[in-house]
Structure 1
Amino acid sequence: MEGWLRESGAELDGLELAHFPAIGRGVRTLRCFKQGERILTIPSGCLWTVEHAYADAVLGPVLRSAQPPLSVEDTLAIYILFVRSRESGYDGLRSHVAALPASYSSSIFFEDDELEVCAGSSLYTITRQLEQRIEEDYRGLVVRVFGLHLDLFPLNKFTIENVGYKWALCTVWSRAMDFVLPNGNPLRLLAPFADMVNHSPEVKQCHVYDASSGNLSILAGKDYEAEDQVFIYYGPMPNSRLLRLYGFVIPDNPNDSYDLVLSTHPLAPFYEQKQKLWASAGLNSTCTISLTLDDPLPKNVLRYLRIQRLDESDLAAIALQKIDTNEKISDSKEVEILRFLVESIGSLLDSFGTRLEKLQEQLAKGVYPVGGNAWAAAHVSLGEQKVLRLARKRAEDLLAAVESESGNDRDGCANCGKDSVPLMLCGKCKGIKYCGRTCQVAHYKEHKAACRATTAKN
């Protein structure tokens, strides 16, 4: 592959492919490089892109005629499999395919018992969904593309398993680079040799696409000595994404997160009014909010839930600009929201197959071989459970603070906190006040037990 690239104008001086302990194949320096110095350049003609696939005299017409149009992922995956299947005419590209790994350690290739180690995690759910989607997509490709051109796509070579469609998809996920062109359009490409450079969170963003020339360059993300391994930076990714796309994890990854999905059914009361409020807050009726180690309970979680739980009187007050959903609506509503959060996060934690402490013990005892699939899955589960525990603790602290404030202030309405209107005592216990019948009814479920207990004593 290196010989073909150099013949094509690639600049690879001072570099070579090498095998590194624990990491595997990567790129090694043969001389010193300073941070920011150009390390290598892959010319446009050597790149794998949708445009290049469409330009292929044999494959292009088939890809362009597919209905509905193929996705970028499927186009590149088919391009890779097509070149791999050809016996002549694609010498340079075939040498790149031959240099690709014969297998991947992404989560879609895990055995069931390996994936079960992270049961309850977002990775577990997404992987199961991906497995089903890949099977459905492959069947669709057989009908829409492969089956219509069996001379180009013999089904014994264009399988789903082995070095087939799943393998090609994983090649795209793990080795493609994404850019935004000056016109705002996205570009996904694979660059031979450059895609052998491994990830490190210790270097800066260092791969660059030149839209004018169409060339791809790698710059030194730090100073390198001779014999060092070269790295690029994929971005601040959690282990769940690293394992799903690239097949590895970083123990104690500071970027670990949990994607919390909040949604509301369209038939829920006042849905259209709430939808407008979510939009004005920069949210949607279905929101995925990332909980992180640094910010385990982002403000948008509370903003979303405050809007979700608005009732008719709240919406009327908002129309009169008397309520700001960025702040708590009332003590009772905030308590309701925070209790819901504590319980929901607790349920998420209970759904994990193996609790955090048990996983830590198993990893310490070497139950899972270091670097193996089960070991990687355990680290994903660990990271997500740590984030969720921090989120629950944050919600519990906020709940305690609101309950303390509302408990110390008996002058306002027990439900909405208003003290600017005449208040009436609870007719039974005489212990708390309300601004009206609506708040008394709304608060009854919360107050019922205490009210009965107080009434019984009297």
Structure 2
Amino acid sequence: MDTWLKSLGAVGLDDLELAEFPGIGRGVRTLRPFKEGEPILTIPSGALWTVEHAYADPLLGPALRSARPPLSIEDILATYILFVRSRESGYGGLRSHVAALPTSYTSSIFFSDDELEACDASSPSLYTITKELHRRIEDDFRALVGRLFGQNPNLFPLDKFTIDEYKWALCTVWSRSMDFALPGGKSVRLLAPFADMLNHSPEVKQCHVYNVSSGNISVLAGKDYKVGDQVFIDYGPIQNNRLLRLYGFVIPDNLNDSYDLVLSTHPAAPLFEQKQKLWASAGLDSTATIPLTLTDPLPNKVLRYLRIQRLDESDLAVMVDAGGKKISDSNELQVLQALIESFSALLAGYKTQLEKLQEQLAEGVYSPRGNRWAVAHVSLGEQRVLGLARQKAMDLLVDLQAAVKSGNVNGSLSSPAQCAKCGKASAQLMLCGRCKGVRYCGRACQVAHYKEHKAICRPSAP
């Protein structure tokens, strides 16, 4: 591959080499020192895997262009890789790059059935998304067979274009491609031979760039390197769940860990059309996915969404004037209670709780760098985020309860409150005697709701 790249004008290959690194695997090692910001490597445009190059291929291009509807970028690149891999002659340089690619990956879509079932207990979100990926891959492959492979059997022999081969090629695109924003709001996704062997580290600065005029890819030193150091690039701020799904690895104590909270409202819900307009004005939709992070575990967008979701007709005008802020104490009380109960339920879905998981990792229960070890780190990060989110909601609830008790309220509690169990609205509801934060229409509802409420019930401030 080096000879082919050099013949096309690659720069820097004499100062680098592929090497195996303990606990990481294959990467790129320096053969001389580099200073931060110094050019390390340039891969010329003629060596890149792009949609344009796939379309320009005299054999593959016409078949790709004839596919209806048009293929996605990742399907074009995956097909391009498989096409070159399947050829018995020609494509010498590109075939040398394919030969250098890993023959297998450790992404969660390649987990065994037992390992995937273990995800359901350790990280329900990783399990759910991975299962959905499996379904999507199967659907996309069937569509490819109908739209492209089956229409051109001489180009795409089905014994070399199987679903397993397709899954491998997809993972190659997910884990090794680079994305760059271009002028005019456009973007480009590509694979750069040799440069795609660089591993990720969040400790280096952004150091790979795309030259719009030449189409070349350049890598700069993201930090100072000594002879024999591994060269890294930064893939961006990615949480462990996504790293494991798309790249096949995790980062212990990942500062970018997050949890994607999905909020949705059924179109048949009361006042849905009015609420949909309010969500749109707040930059949201009736179904919104909002990331909770370690640094911002309860974003204002979550509160804004739920305030709209739980408002009643009398609150509509107030919500417009509130600009996304708290509209009433009763509304805020419902929002915070719902959040706390939801976060408690999500955390209960992790069969191995945070403290026990930390003990197991410290005691070496999981084989280091193995799949179960990786899933444990995904679970750890998600539970930390959800725990912080629940605590933030509980703190806000305590502050609200204190304000209500002290009389420092916005006057909105004069409207009828709702029973925390059955939702019945009335001005004659009994308060929880311990936390003074929820109301019930009677003893039966209070007892029935206690299992859900006990996780958040705290004595009210004296």
Would you call these one fold, judging by a TM-score over 0.5? Answer: yes
- The reply to whether residue 199 of structure 1 matches residue 182 of structure 2 is no
Is the 8 Å Cα contact of residues 263 and 289 (structure 2) preserved in structure 1?
yes
Q: Which residue of 2 aligns with 1:150?
A: 153
Q: CA deviation at 1:443?
A: 4.3
For 1:360 and 1:159, locate their aligned partners in 2 and report how far apart those are by CA, in whole Å.
41
Structure with larger Rg: 1
Aligned CA RMSD, in angstroms, stands at 2.2
Q: Which aligned segments of 4 or more residues in structure 1 are displaced greater than 3 angstroms? A: 316-319, 410-413, 434-439, 441-453
Counterpart secondary structure, 1:52: helix
Q: CA deviation at 1:446?
A: 4.8
Provide closer, same or farther for how the CA distance between residues 382 and 438 of structure 1 changes in structure 2, counting only shifts above 3 A. Answer: closer
Task: Report the residue type matching 1:125 in the other structure.
Answer: T
Deviation sequence 1:350-407 (CA, Å, 0-9, x none): 1123222222222222221000011001100111011101111111111111112112
For 1:13 and 1:276, locate their aligned partners in 2 and report how far apart those are by CA, in whole Å.
59
Q: CA deviation at 1:8?
A: 1.3
Task: Report the residue type matching 1:370 in the other structure.
Answer: P
Counterpart secondary structure, 2:81: helix
Q: CA deviation at 1:267?
A: 1.9
TM-score, scaled to structure 1: 0.90
For 1:34 and 1:239, locate their aligned partners in 2 and report how far apart those are by CA, in whole Å.
30
Is the 8 Å Cα contact of residues 318 and 327 (structure 2) preserved in structure 1?
no
For 1:31 and 1:376, locate their aligned partners in 2 and report how far apart those are by CA, in whole Å.
33
Provide closer, same or farther for how the CA distance between residues 406 and 5 of structure 1 changes in structure 2, counting only shifts above 3 A. Answer: same
Q: Which residue of 1 aligns with 2:38?
A: 37
Q: Which residue of 2 aligns with 1:340?
A: 338
Deviation sequence 1:138-161 (CA, Å, 0-9, x none): 111111111111111111111112
- The reply to whether residue 262 of structure 1 matches residue 260 of structure 2 is no
For 1:316 and 1:438, locate their aligned partners in 2 and report how far apart those are by CA, in whole Å.
20
Deviation sequence 1:213-266 (CA, Å, 0-9, x none): 010110110111111110000011110111111100011111100000111112
Alignment of 1:282-293 (within 5 A): 282-293=283-294
Which among 347, 350, 363 is matched to residue 348 of structure 2? Answer: 350
Q: Which residue of 2 aligns with 1:442?
A: 425
Is the 8 Å Cα contact of residues 118 and 352 (structure 1) preserved in structure 2?
no
Task: Report the residue type matching 2:134 in the other structure.
Answer: E
For 1:44 and 1:157, locate their aligned partners in 2 and report how far apart those are by CA, in whole Å.
28
Q: CA deviation at 1:281?
A: 1.4
Tell me whether 349-358 or 88-97 shows the greater mean CA deviation: 349-358
Is the 8 Å Cα contact of residues 118 and 354 (structure 1) preserved in structure 2?
no
For 1:450 and 1:94, locate their aligned partners in 2 and report how far apart those are by CA, in whole Å.
70
For 1:273 and 1:303, locate their aligned partners in 2 and report how far apart those are by CA, in whole Å.
15
TM-score, scaled to structure 2: 0.89
Which among 122, 125, 128 is matched to residue 122 of structure 1? Answer: 125
For 1:217 and 1:76, locate their aligned partners in 2 and report how far apart those are by CA, in whole Å.
21
Deviation sequence 1:183-215 (CA, Å, 0-9, x none): 221100000000001111110011100010010
Aligned-pair identity in percent equals: 68
Provide closer, same or farther for how the CA distance between residues 437 and 254 of structure 1 changes in structure 2, counting only shifts above 3 A. Answer: closer
Task: Report the residue type matching 1:357 in the other structure.
Answer: E
Is the 8 Å Cα contact of residues 8 and 43 (structure 1) preserved in structure 2?
yes
Please list every run of 5 or more consecutive structure 2 residues that lacks an aligned counterpart in the other structure: 432-438, 444-462
Please list every run of 5 or more consecutive structure 1 residues that lacks an aligned counterpart in the other structure: 418-433, 454-458
Deviation sequence 1:95-136 (CA, Å, 0-9, x none): 000000000000100112223343243222110100111011
Is the 8 Å Cα contact of residues 307 and 325 (structure 1) preserved in structure 2?
no
Alignment of 1:225-244 (within 5 A): 225-244=226-245
Which among 370, 385, 388 is matched to residue 387 of structure 1? Answer: 385
For 1:412 and 1:45, locate their aligned partners in 2 and report how far apart those are by CA, in whole Å.
66
Q: Which residue of 1 aligns with 2:277?
A: 276
